[in-house]
Structures are given as C-alpha cells and as structure tokens.
Structure 1
Amino acid sequence: MTRHLHTRTVRRRAAGAVGAVVAGLLCAAGPAAPGAVAAPGARSVAPRLDDGLARTPPMGFNNWNSTGCRAEFDQDMVKGIADLFVEKGLRDAGYEYVNLDDCWALPERDADGKLVPDPARFPDGIAAVADYVHAKGLKLGIYTSAGTKTCSSVGFPGALGHEYSDARQFADWGVDYLKYDNCNNQGVDAKQRYTTMRDALADATRATGRPIVYSICEWGQNKPWEWAADVGHLWRTTGDISDNWSSMLSILKQNLPLAPYAGPGHWNDPDMLEVGNGGMTDTEYRSHFSMWSVMAAPLLIGSDLRTASAATLGILGNEEVVAVDQDPLGRQGTVLSAEGGRWVVAKEMADGSRAVALFNESGSAQRISTSARAVGLPAASGYALRDLWQHRTSHTAGTIAATVPAHGTVLVRVSADARWAQYPPAVELGLDGTPLFEAGRSVTLTSTLTDLGRTAARDVSVTLDGPAGWRARALSPTGADAVPPGRSLRTTWRVTAPAGTESGSYGLTLRAVHRSAAGARVETVVPLAASVVVAPPPGVSSLGDLPWMTAANGWGPVERNTSNGESAAGDGGPLTIGGTVYADGLGVHAESSVEFYTGGACETVTADVGVDDEKSTNGTVTFEVWADGTEAASTGVLDTTMPAQPLSADVTGAEVIRLTVTDAGDGIDSDHADWANATLTC
C-alpha cells in the first residue's frame, strides 16, 4: 500500500492530495531531476503503451496487509500463496499475479549498484521464486519506489537514478508486474520519474523478451489519470485504503468520477481489496468487491489467504462478479444517481448487457430503483435480470429495483433477451416503516411484494421473522394465489421486542416465496436491521453521554468527550478547537456518521464544531445534522485555521437524527472533527 508503518503522515497526506478529483485541475510538468543518472544506452522513447498488456484489470495478491515486513514474509510464504491460488480455485477464477510488496531486499545495494534480495527471506533468490510461481501458471510481481528509498521504516533502496539497472534486474529475474511507489522522491516531478521507469521497463523488455505490467502508485497526487495512459497500465487514484467502511466509501467516491479515463491497458486503481481482513462485515465486503468490479478496478487480494474463511473465498471467487470486472470492453461503471446514499452505477458490457449496482451507502435498508432504459438498454418487451450474488435469473418488464440492506449492494446483469419469458418474474420485496423498537412496545410495519415482470407471480407467501422471543403477528393476508404484473401484495405486521431487551441492533428476516407460470419456485430474502432504542430524557442532554444507534468513522472509533485518536477507543485527547478546550461532545474522523434515536420528542441540536487542534495542517471537513433523512443544518468547509463555529438544527418531530462529518471532497486527510458542547433538547 502507500505506506507503511512509520509513514502514517505521508500516507494520509497522499489521501488528501486527491481532493480535487472532480475539479479536473491540470498538473504541470516540474523541473528535471537534479543529479538524475541516465543509464548507458538510455534513449528517448515515444510515449506508447500499445503493448497488449493489462487488457483487463490485473487480478492477483499483494502481501502487505497480511505480513507487512514481518519475518513470515519469505519465499515459503510466497510459494504457499501460489499453491493456494491453485487449491482454492482462485487461479481458475482469473487471479494470476502473486505480488511482493516492500522489504524483499537488503537495505543496501551491492558494490555494483545492484539490488540484493534479502538472503534470510529469499535464500534461493527472486528468480527461483518466479520460476515456482510460473510453474503454477501464475505470474510474479515486485515492488520498489520512485525515490531514493522505499516507504518502509527501514527504507530499502528505491529506484530513482537506478531505473534502467533495476528494470533489467526485474526482467532477468522473470518478474511480470512492477508496483512503483512514491516515497522519498526528492521533489522530482512525478511524470518525469514515472516516465523514466516506463522507458527503462521497455528497454528491459526489448533486451529480455519479458513484458512487465507497470503499476504507478503515486497516490493520485498529480492526477495521473490525466497523463499516465501512455506511461503505465494502472495508476493509484487515492491514498491508501484501510479495512473499514468509511475508508472504503471515501475511496469509492473519489474513484467513481474518473470513469472516462479507464479502458483496456490503462486502469484507475483505487487500491487493493480489504475483503477478509476483519474490519468490515461480509455484507460490506460484498459491496466492496461489487463496486471495485463495476469500476473495472484491479482486483488485488489484500487479506491473508492462509487463514481465509469460506465466506471470504466465496466473495473473492464469485466468477460472475469477476466477469463484470474482467469484461473485455473495459468500461468503468458510471454513476446514474446517488440521492440520499442510494447509488445506481451502471457498466456497459461487451455483449450489450449492463451490469448494474444498486449500492446502499446508508445505515438502514433502502429501496433503490432504476430502469432498463435508464441504464442504456434498448426498448424490449422484457429483460433478463441475473442476480450475480444469488446466481439466479428472472425477468422484468423494465424496472430494476430492490430493497438493499444497510451498506449492501445488489449487483445484477440486465439484457434485452428475447428468451425473457422462460424466466420467472422478478419481484421486489421490502418493508415500509422504520424498524425502531422500544423494549416491550409494539411497532406496526408493512411489507410489500411487487411483481416487476410481464407474467404473474403465483402461489405467493410472505413471512417476517425476528430473534428468539420476538413476536411478529400478521394483521392482513400473507399470501395470494397470484400477484399480477405491476401489482403488489401488502401485509401489515405488529412486531414486538420483548420487555427487557437491551438496546442495540437485531436482525429481522423478510422472506417471500412465489412460483412462475411454469411452476419454478423462487425465494426472495431481505435481511433487515431492527434497532432497540431508549427514548432520550426530557430537558437538555449532552450527546456525548447518550446512547447512539449506529456510529461509523473514517479512522478509529467515535469517541465520547475526547478527540479521535485514530486507533483504539480512548486514545484521543481533550476536545480542543482554536485553543479552547471543551469537556463534552463527540470526537470523530471524516467520513463519520452517528445516529441517535429521538422518538419524535426532541426539538434542537446545538454544538460548537471544528477541526481539532491536534491536527495543525490539512484537515478540512463539513458538519451536517440530518433529521429523518432531511438535512436540518450544515456548515461550509471548515479547516485547521478556523475557530469553533456554532451550529444549531431544528429537529422537531424527528424519530432519528444523524450527525455527519464529510471530508469536504478532498479525501480523509487529518480530518479530526469535534462536535464540542453537543446537546439535544427534548
């Protein structure tokens, strides 16, 4: 990744440097490298990368997240990963690169200026490892930096000034992929540094016949999407990803607008996959994998395959989702809508179909819909609708819709298929009303099943189940002999959480079964999150002392009455804005969202807000207060130079309020934000 143990500040600044993604500012070429060393025989090479490499986004593995520089990173571990690619079916699913990250070399070059593999880690040398990997039908990748040193705390030799020599060593060893990082770059112009390595790799390929895929990792600081299509095969568009929802979401939002720059042989790279590392739920990991695939992103596994669960391997090995990423047309998906955290992203496929991601950014289930026409398909009497996670095909008259769980993604492939009538009708199943419960009290909810097809859904039945001890009683019919096209079955339910149930999130399962005209049985399941809540007390309360429903944060947990320390709970300091210390409030880090239950009994939220003084540079944020999904108050962009700003929001009658901090559009870089003196009046 962008790096490594001691370089948190470097890494975070890299994330902030891509803040003007949408602004489209041009990057200027800088001065020539002072003291740059040209290799013997080096010559000017006309810009071109018509070499046939990376015609689809590279797929493989990178060891950094699972081993870092620890001693376990050695040739046996690398060979073991190659073995697992074969044993677990990942090679057959399309993964081919086994990539070494930092720490594979000795800290110093030899007397001839050559790189030396660490003999403790790689006693047989890199070439022997490459031979082993190649014998498995796979390819080997390696890492260095476009600077004098790499990014690890040890600082292994970088390639600046040694590009031709290093490139030739890589080719001689049988390396197939180079990740070229950005640390210790001595201020040399990025385009110049990365172009020099391009030319060195081309020279090495001519000499050895070994083609090498070239991954530019300058963190999006210099807008490589604007200049690197004839320099590298892929380029990082953001700072490092972390294994949490907010980081993944921030990177996703930065990469989505860059769709016009991607295509066969030149890809936007939003960093490696975190799937399986443990910081997100499987639902969130499926979203991560779905959205990277829709964005035609490189799919580089960043988790430890030696301990990967069946669920992790199931996500990574979903060949229908991989096929979206690897489609030969090479289009990156484009955003069709994103209102209220309900995203529709569509990707044109080589066979004329569309891959469509219905992505729910929010913390509660949401209905997300679009149409075949909106995603670019021609008019047709019916459409085949393939669910790529459920692995089943239905048909629709044109509507593409689903109730998507919190942080979930429904990924479908839609085509104007003349055979649509052989598939059962698609149904949309959802729940009206917010599943919020006070223990011992009943809540009325309504389920709706709608036939989206051209034929009737037959023998329809709907059930709603909760945890042990919960009661869900139907107050209206739960079934129908048939639901005609475009019509719905609505069922009212009275649901009760048992008295004494502790506050927190609980699972409900809404399930429907129907049959097609030919008798095919179809089951639809929608997992829902129900929250057991406690009504806030009357009067004025500090939000730092009230229980929240959900809390998501860019780095580390949301803190009560202290600032955000980015790692473990309680590692922050006093809330401090503009030199003023506050005793009460919330310490967060963008992107952040904290929800509180107000039960329709509260009127006002107030706070003094700003960037905490512990970050003297870079931090830029905006604060927002939302009441039942409607923005009630917001600030403009606040930065580290500004004192606390008063913020007040009218939340009268709201069931739920949400306090949100965004990154102000420039990535999550030092965005320590304080809701100081935050109060709720009820």
Structure 2
Amino acid sequence: MTSLTGRRCAALATAFAVALSGGVAATAPRAAAAPEPPATTIDDGLALTPPMGFNNWNTTHCRAEFNEKMITDMADIFVDRGLRAAGYSYVNIDDCWALPERAADGNLVPDPVRFPRGIKWLADYVHGKGLKFGIYTSAGTKTCNKAGGFPGGLGHERQDAALFASWGVDYLKYDNCNNQGVDAKLRYTAMRDALKATGRPIVFSICEWGQNKPWEWAKDVGHLWRTTGDINDTWAKTVDLLKRNMVLADHAGPGHWNDPDMLEVGNGRQTTTEYRSQFALWSIMAAPLLIGADLRKVSPEHFEILTNKEIIAIDQDKLGRQGKPIRVANGHYVFVKPLANGDRAVALFNETDQPARISATAAEAGLPTSAGYKIRDLWTGQDAHTAGTIAATVPPHGTAIYRVSADRGWPLYPPAVDSHTDLELLYPGAAPVVTPGKPAKVTASVHNAGRLPALFANTKITAPEGWTVRAESGTSTPVLRPEQTWQTRFAITAPAGTKPGSYPVTSTVTYHGHRPVTRTQTFDLLVPEPAPSGTVQLSETRWLRSANGFGPVEVNTSNGESKAGDGRPITINGVVFAKGLGVHAPSTVEYHLGGRCSTVSAQVGVDDEKNAGSVVFQVYADAAKVADSGVLTAADPAEPLQANVSGATLLRLVVTDAGDGQSNDHADWADVRLSCE
C-alpha cells in the first residue's frame, strides 16, 4: 500500500520502547538498538511453500463493496470452482475493516456496516469451508488508507495479536505506514514476538515495500516480505516489480519468501497474454500467489489461468527454490527453476512489443547430459522431445513455460518443432512499418529441436485481402532433419492507397511428427500516417505506438492517475504549459517521420502534481539516441531539449525512471514541436 508521510513522534516511540521492555516510561528513554541480522529462519513449519489465496485490496480498496458478503462469496467460490483443490487456501481481508477509533479497552473494532457479524464470525465461516483466514494492519500508528487511516499496531502489538488469535486469524499482513520513524526491525520483530506469544500458528507477511531490504534480515522475523512497492493493473508495473524481485532469488526458500505483491490476473486492464505472463513469472519466482481480483467478475479465460495446476505446481514445488534469469538480452528473458524431482522449469519471457524466438539449452538449465529430453508445455499440456534446445516464438508481452526432464522415454514423444516469422525491421524492436506499394521482406523459419525427423513441413503467409504475398524460396520440404532449421522468404506488399492502420498477417506452419501438427503466428503490420508538414505540436499529431508506466499517455494534460483524462494542466516547477504530452516512466511514444522531418524540440521536466520523482528524457531517431536530458527531479525547472532527426523514419520520445524506480515519475513533454518539410 502507498506510503503516507508521518511526522516523527518521540512520545509514541518512547511508548513503543516501553511496550517492548515491559517497563515504565523513563523521562529520558534510551534509543533501542536494532537487532543484528538473523542467521536462521523461523522454524515453525508455516509457509513451507509460498502462500496461496485471495486479498481484496487490488479490486476494492476501501470502497463499500468490500464487506462480509464479498468475503463469504470468495470463500464459496474457492470451494465451488476448484480454487481450494488447486491449492489456494487463504482468504484475506485488507485495510478498512476496522472503525477509525479503538474501543475503550484498547481493542480494534470491526466496522459494523461492513462486517455486521464481526470478524470471528467471518473467520469461522472461512474455516468452515476448509480454508484459512487472514487480516491486515500496519506497523504504525495508522494504516495506509489515504482518508486518514485506521488504528495501526505500533505500541499495541501484544493486544492486537491476542485479539487476532481469539478471532481465529491464520495470516497477518503487516504494513508500513505512519511508522513514526521507529526502526523497521524493531517494529516487525515486536509483532513477530506478539504473534508467537499467542500460541496460534499465524503466517506473518512483512509489507514494508523493500525499503529496509528485509531479505537481508527478516528470515527469522516473517514468513514472507514485500520486495517492492504496490502493484497496479498495468503491464509496465508488472515488469517493474518482476525486475526488482528476480534478482533476490538467493534470499528465498521454505518458510521465507520474496513477495513482489499480489496477482492482478482478472482485474481487466491487461491482456490475457500479459496476465499469463504474470502468473507464469510469479510462479517460477516462487512468489506468493494471492489473487487480487473479485472472483465473481473474473472471465472464464482468466479464471483458467488462475487454476492452471501444472504451473501452480512449479510455484509450490517442495524444493522451494526461486527461479532465476540465466539470460536477459534485448527484452528477452530465460528463467530456470530447479524442482524437487530433478526436473527444471524453464520460462521464456518476451518483454518487447514484437514476437520473438527465445531459446535456451538443457545444459544451461542445469539438466544432466542425455540423448534426449521430455519437454512439457504447461499452457497446452502437450509433450514433445528435444535433443537439448528449448525454444518458442513468444508473443509480445508473453511467456512460454515448460517442465523439462532427462527422460529415457523421450522417443515416445514427437519432436519439438518451433517456427518464427521475422519482418525486416529498421532496427531491433522497431515498429513493423510498411509503405504501400513497396515490398516488405519476411522470413519464416522452422526449427526441429528433436532427435527424430519431422516430415512434410510446409509454410504459408496469409495477408489482408488485396495485399500481395510472393514466396521467394520453396514453401515445403519433405524432411526436416533433427536439429535443422529451414527457412522460406516472402515479399508482402500492401496496395497503393492502403489506408493507415494496423493489418494482421498470419504465418502457418504444418508438419508431421508422431501426428499432424499446425502452428500459427499472427503479427501486425503498420501502415503509418503520412508525416506532418511544417512545424506542428506533437500533442496534436497521431502517434504510431505508445507505452506508459502508469495510466495512458495524456494529451495536453499531466499523466494524472490510472484513468484516461484524469490529468491536470501541464505544470513544471510552477510554470504552466498549454500543450504537450503527460507520461509516466517508463514511457515511449513513437511517431512516423518518413525521412521528411528535421528537428524536434520540447520543454521537459517532472510535473508538479506529485512533487516527487526523478526521470531522464531521451529522443531517438530510428536506432540512434540524439538527445538526453540527464536526470531531472521535481525540484528542477523545465529543461529545453532539442534534437536533429533529419532522415529518420521513426521518432521515439522515451522517459526512463533514472534507475531509482518509477514511483511518482510523472513526466511532461511540454510544448513539444516537430519541424518537417
């Protein structure tokens, strides 16, 4: 949950130190020393695999729909639709469950409107379904709710832990807001001891957003700890949290897990491909799987993601190893996770906006030398064999995930064959732009990774009606030998006068292994708008593509929040600009120039709406970076930025997070002008 600024309060810190010691407050209390980093982990048998369950925050925040009925419905759905059978067990409630003030006896009081029968009744209901119940509070004087917060646990650890135990709580999420500057290790250790004193087994989730590097000290304090700030339902944030969590694999294991925050699967603002990626990547990283969507509203295809038992088995593997990236290059990732039976889980992740063939080898994955390997696609459930290559064409923002084993029965499975179709681009990752009347060069490749041949391979390209597709080499081969790659070259031409837009093209490959197989790959070709004439405001010009770290790119306003149109007038260090683009790092806005433009200029800076953040503005002409602002912060005035883009086909306006994370990185391309012929 988002951090709120709190003033340091000496009296509260004193009271907290007294509560820890059990003594009486002195007039001049001594500062408590932070505990030494622990050498061991909690040995209580809890969370030996990453916790799985539900939390309401991502879908409800503090809205009225968060209530008793919602939580009982979630418990019912867990049972009725197979989530409990798939391994999900915790039904957790988040902030806003309590009244704003404690009772006269100091106890927390459930909101009687939201929870008329109380929390114990609700926990009993959840337990009656064969599930476990979790609750939330903060290691501060108030929780994180932006409306002012509800009573937190700082100084009330023993009392709150005893109350939670009496209600039958099985899981505590302990947040970090309004902490009065008290040392994090002290605050979280105090609640650990209080929970232990109740005698009830309660999983302890440390939610201090990775600010104090809990992976270095919390193994004997909590069972899991947040490694990141809050997630939101955007692709950029999913990737940001992935990158922060994936480098911490050596700190995770049974009973102590890295937590990159909850699942957004099913909340509806990302594509099915993107939700599949989050689920597969969180699973290979042995992350807790806490559903953050209202299960009453989740679509069948997204529900199917959440109940994929073979991918869940990767997350829940008893060995308890967090998968690591063994290769990262140009937005393409290979993750490997060792499994208890000697198998390896391998995930091929494509961060980019273009399809990509990504590959690894069995040796890289740490498997023993073998004549062949069984490879199981965990999305389709199909088995194949490979001589050692693990490869797939992965769609934009997609993740292929496999279970690979050194199996002597590999000849029983068909050869693993993958195909990929490449458009000849201006540079890697460029928009797939085509010019009407001019042939675009495309190469279709088919690779047999198996020890046995694939027979009668054939490839074809299907383009929109009226387009011309011409094969420039053979389109079939009778035998695709083991570990052979076969290619066909095509020329695709959009007819003159084709209107600007995105046009789908499909590549189809057929072959025979043990059975006939058909594989298809669909990709889009872009016919761009003509480049503008004269000097124009880019905020009034249609872009080819855009990607934004939070919410959409806004025209003539600041970024605002997650909804379109919720920004404010563009303002940098008190100066208001009528025109421009409001973005949020990391961001890219791409335009077609067609070689007809000469210069781009702008006033750039961090928007005043957050009074925080640090970013870098960059301009690219095709593959070349032609301008860089250096790091700009909320304290800086607008910086003039100008670049020569002569001869470029594509222009990219890029904003990075300056290497310190994307929190509050609301950035403005103000008065951004393009000069063309």
**Partner of residue 486, structure 2:** 489
Q: Which moved more, 1:598-607 or 1:580-589?
A: 598-607
Following superposition, the deviation at residue 228 of structure 1 comes to: 0.9
Structure 1 residue 654: Cα displacement: 5.0
How many residue pairs end up in the alignment? 651
Return the alpha-carbon distance in structure 2 between the equivalents of residues 335 and 154 of structure 1: 41
Tell me how far apart the structure 2 counterparts of residues 638 and 681 of structure 1 sit (CA, whole Å): 25
Q: Which residue of 2 aligns with 1:358?
A: 348
Q: Alignment partner for residue 475 of structure 2, among 462, 474, 478?
A: 478
SS at match of 1:130: helix
Relative to structure 1, the CA distance from residue 312 to residue 648 in structure 2 (aligned partners, 3 Å threshold; closer, same or farther) is same
Q: How far apart are 1:298 and its partner, in Å?
A: 0.6
Question: Contact 1:107–1:157 (CA<8 Å) still a contact in 2?
Answer: yes
Whether the aligned pair in 1 keeps the contact of 2:58 and 2:232 (CA below 8 Å) is no
More displaced 10-residue stretch of structure 1: 263-272 or 375-384: 375-384
CA RMSD of aligned residues (A): 2.9
Confirm or deny that 1:449 pairs with 2:446: yes
Q: Give 5+ residue unaligned stretches, structure 1.
A: 4-9, 15-29
User: Is this contact kept in 2: 1:439–1:533, CA < 8 A?
Assistant: no
Superposed counterparts of 1:204-353, under 5 Å: 204-205=198-199, 210-353=200-343
Query: Quick one: distance in 2 between partners of 1:113 and 1:587?
Result: 47
Q: Is the 8 A contact 1:466 1:508 kept in 2?
A: yes
Match of 1:560 among 555, 559, 562: 555
CA contact (8 A) 2:416 2:450 kept: yes
TM-score (norm 2): 0.89
Deviation for aligned residue 1:371: 2.0
Q: What letter is aligned with 1:92?
A: A
Q: Offset at 1:308?
A: 1.1
The equivalences for 1:179-198 within 5 A come to 179-198=173-192
Q: Which residue of 1 aligns with 2:605?
A: 610
Could you say which residue in structure 1 is the equivalent of 2:28? none
Residue 354 of structure 1 aligns with an amino acid whose one-letter code is: R
Residue 660 in 1 paired to residue 654 in 2? yes
2:481 maps to amino acid? P
1:579-630 deviations in whole A, cap 9, x for unaligned?
Answer: 55555442211121222234455565544433234443x3111233445556
What's the secondary structure of 1:307's corresponding residue?
coil
Counterpart amino acid of residue 607 in structure 2 = D
Counterpart residue number, 1:101: 94
What does 1:362-441 correspond to in 2, within 5 Å?
A: 362-433=352-423, 434=425, 435-438=432-435
| Distance across 2 between alignment mates of 1:436 and 1:413 | 37
* d(CA) in 2 for partners of 1:357, 1:630: 31
Would the aligned equivalents of 1:32 and 1:189 in 2 still touch at CA under 8 Å? Answer: no
Query: Conserved in 2, the CA contact under 8 Å of 1:632 and 1:650?
Result: yes
**2:631 corresponds to:** 637
**Equivalent residues of 1:75, 1:122 under 8 A apart:** yes
Q: Would the aligned equivalents of 2:375 and 2:405 in 1 still touch at CA under 8 Å?
A: yes
Find the aligned partners of 1:132 and 1:548 in 2 and give their Cα distance: 53
Among residues 511, 517, 533, which one is paired with 1:522 in the alignment? 517
Who is 1:38 aligned against?
A: 19
Change (3 A) 1:569 1:155: closer
Shift of 1:92: 1.2
Give the Å deviation of 1:338: 2.0
Deviations 1:461-514 (A, max 9, x none): 223335566664545433222211232332233435567665444433323222
SS in structure 1 opposite 2:230? coil
Is the contact between residue 96 and residue 139 of structure 1 (CA under 8 Å) also seen in structure 2? yes
Q: Is the 8 A contact 2:591 2:651 kept in 1?
A: yes
2: CA distance, partners of 1:631 / 1:294: 35
| Contact 1:247–1:591 (CA under 8 A) maintained in structure 2 | no
Q: How does 1:577-656 map to 2 (within 5 A)?
A: 577-578=572-573, 581-599=576-594, 605-616=600-611, 618-628=612-622, 631=625, 633-647=627-641, 654-656=648-650
Q: How far 1:305 sits from its partner (Å)?
A: 0.1
Measure how far apart 1:635 and its partner are: 4.2
Give the Cα–Cα distance (whole angstroms) in 2 for the partners of residues 577 and 39 of structure 1.
47
Question: Which structure 2 residues correspond to residues 129-144 of structure 1 after superposition, within 5 A?
Answer: 129-144=122-137
Q: Which runs of 4+ in 1 moved over 6 A?
A: 39-42, 44-47
Residue matched to 1:23: none
Asked if structure 2 preserves the Cα contact closer than 8 Å seen for 1:31 and 1:189, the reply is no
Change (3 A) 1:143 1:436: same
Q: Structure 1's 410 and 598: CA in aligned 2 closer, same or farther, altered over 3 A?
A: farther
With over 3 angstroms needed to count, the CA separation of the structure-2 counterparts of 1:481 and 1:563, relative to structure 1, is: same
Change (3 A) 1:368 1:680: farther
* C-alpha distance in structure 1 between counterparts of 2:278 and 2:531, whole Å: 35
Distance 2:608 2:65 in 1: 39
What's the offset of the Cα at 1:59?
0.5
Cα offset for 1:285? Answer: 0.8
Report deviation, 1:538.
Answer: 5.5
Tell me if structure 2 keeps the 8 A contact 1:267–1:297.
Answer: yes
**How far apart are residue 556 of structure 1 and its match?**
2.0
Matches of 1:384 and 1:359, distance apart in 2: 20
Residue 168 of structure 1 deviates from its aligned partner by 1.3
Check whether the contact 1:598–1:656 (CA below 8 A) recurs between aligned residues: yes
Over the matched positions of the two proteins, sequence identity in percent amounts to 57
Match of 1:462 in 2: 459
Question: Distance in 2 between the 1:158 and 1:249 partners?
Answer: 31
Long gaps (5+) in structure 2: 24-31, 426-431
Are the equivalent residues in 1 in contact too, given 2:41–2:255 (CA < 8 A)? Answer: no
**Contact kept? 1:536, 1:546, Cα under 8 Å:** no
Change (3 A) 1:320 1:558: same
**Residue of structure 2 equivalent to 1:115:** 108
AA partner of residue 400 (structure 2): V
CA distance in 2 between partners of 1:358 and 1:582 (Å)? 44
- The 3-state SS of whatever aligns with 1:350 is coil
**What CA distance in whole angstroms lies between the structure 1 residues aligned with 2:557 and 2:112?**
47
8 Å contact kept, 2:421–2:521: no
Aligned AA (1:454): R
Once the two structures are TM-superposed, the CA of residue 640 in structure 1 deviates from its matched residue by 2.3
Structure with larger RCO (C-alpha < 8 A, sep 6+): 1
For normalisation by structure 1, the TM-score amounts to: 0.88
User: Which amino acid in structure 2 is aligned with residue 675 of structure 1?
Assistant: W
The 1:626/1:361 distance shift into structure 2, 3 A limit, reads farther
